[in-house]
Structure 1
Amino acid sequence: MAHSPQTKSTLGDHEGQQHPIRLYLTVWGFLFVLSAASYFVDYVGLQGLLRWSLILIFMALKAGLILAVFMHMAWERLALSYAILLPPLAMIGLLVILIVESDYTVATRVMEFGSP
């Protein structure tokens, strides 16, 4: 019985999707540019909220690229992506609520008890 090309492979064969090396090199290039931009923020000497905002934005972009391409999340099922991405997003939302609440608490204490 001859096997057609459509039959399943044997245990020794590797199955799966192969991504072109150009994709990985392109992502590596973007990671290099984002890292250089992050270092440039320090080199220029930006301070305060602008500095930290830019650094965090570059960090999040790099993490997203690594997660999407090198961890193959861009090609996973939607349910698996949600299972991995939603908990950190929920934590970020809860942290924002805590920060807003802490600002309110400090403002209330300053109004009631005066500045320390």
Structure 2
Amino acid sequence: MNKKIEKCAILMVSTDLTQKQIAEELNVSVQTIINWKKKDEFIEFKDDYQRKYLNNLAAKAIRTMDKLLTSDSDQVRYNAAKDILDRTGYKPTEKQNINMSGSLANPYEALTTEQLLKLAGDDDG
């Protein structure tokens, strides 16, 4: 693939440059970039580069989360800890719906017996 096309994809992923600025940097027209973006080879290269770019950022993101665990702010520490736990599979139990009287709400109370049996997998009734 053409080196300019590769550089275009790299600049799109790793910078905040606009298409116009990238076109100026590469000494091509904006229309040329629009045409490149339609090509399968461009799309595949850009997607591959983007995956690699994000992979390289993952370690930095993890270090940032680690640093946030020692923040002066209770809220920041809580959010960092919660995010880490959520992402590593330590999800809290699901929320329970409480009705106005303070007791647990029954999500099935409006269903008929037939609907309840269907939900339970007993289609014979």
TM surpasses 0.5:
no
Larger of the two Rg values belongs to structure:
2
Superposition TM-score, scaled by structure 2 size:
0.28
Higher relative contact order (CA 8 A, sep 6+): 1
- The structure whose residues are more often helix, as a share, is 1
